[in-house]
């Protein structure tokens, strides 16, 4: 797979570019999911470290999960069934991601990395 780098003219993330408001103000988890996860954790009599790990997870915003300006991705050889480009990348938390992109948006904002 070929490597590309995402570069937005205003340094906006992929999600932020398409959003109507600031992603930093959107919680990544809805309140009911957060409550459910906290309750499930308490059942196992967690350590303080486990509680901290959960709160760190629940404290993430949609901005935290976005594909940020400057991120390197690897383009898959074939588009998906909708004709969209598909690339894999690693987010700021170290989690593997796989995202599809409109071909026009891809051509405008992704540059092949030539090392």
Which residues contact another protein (rule: CB under 8 A)? Answer: 13-20, 23, 26, 28-30, 32-33, 36-37, 57, 60, 62, 65-67, 80-82, 84, 86, 91, 93, 95-102, 105
DSSP 71-113: -EEEE-SS--TTS-EEEEEE-TTS-EEEEEE-HHHHHHHEEE-
Do the Cβ atoms of 55 and 47 come closer than 8 Å?
no
Do the Cβ atoms of 68 and 17 come closer than 8 Å?
no
Give min distance, CB of 113 to another protein, in A: 21
Q: Which is nearer to another protein, 4 or 115 (CB)?
A: 4
Give min distance, CB of 35 to another protein, in A: 10
C-alpha 10/C-alpha 40 separation (Å) is 41
Give min distance, CB of 115 to another protein, in A: 25
Q: Which is nearer to another protein, 7 or 80 (CB)?
A: 80
């Amino acid at each position: 797979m070929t490597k590309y780098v995402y570069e937005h003219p205003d340094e906006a993330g992929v999600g932020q570019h398409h959003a109507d408001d600031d992603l930093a103000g959107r919680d990544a988890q809805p309140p009911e999911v957060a409550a459910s996860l906290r309750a499930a954790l308490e059942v196992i009599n967690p350590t303080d470290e486990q509680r901290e790990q959960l709160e760190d997870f629940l404290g993430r915003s949609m901005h935290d999960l976005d594909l940020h300006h400057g991120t390197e991705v690897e383009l898959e050889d074939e588009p998906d069934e909708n004709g969209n480009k598909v690339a894999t990348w690693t987010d700021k938390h170290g989690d593997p991601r796989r995202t599809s992109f409109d071909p026009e948006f891809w051509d405008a904002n992704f540059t092949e990395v030539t090392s």
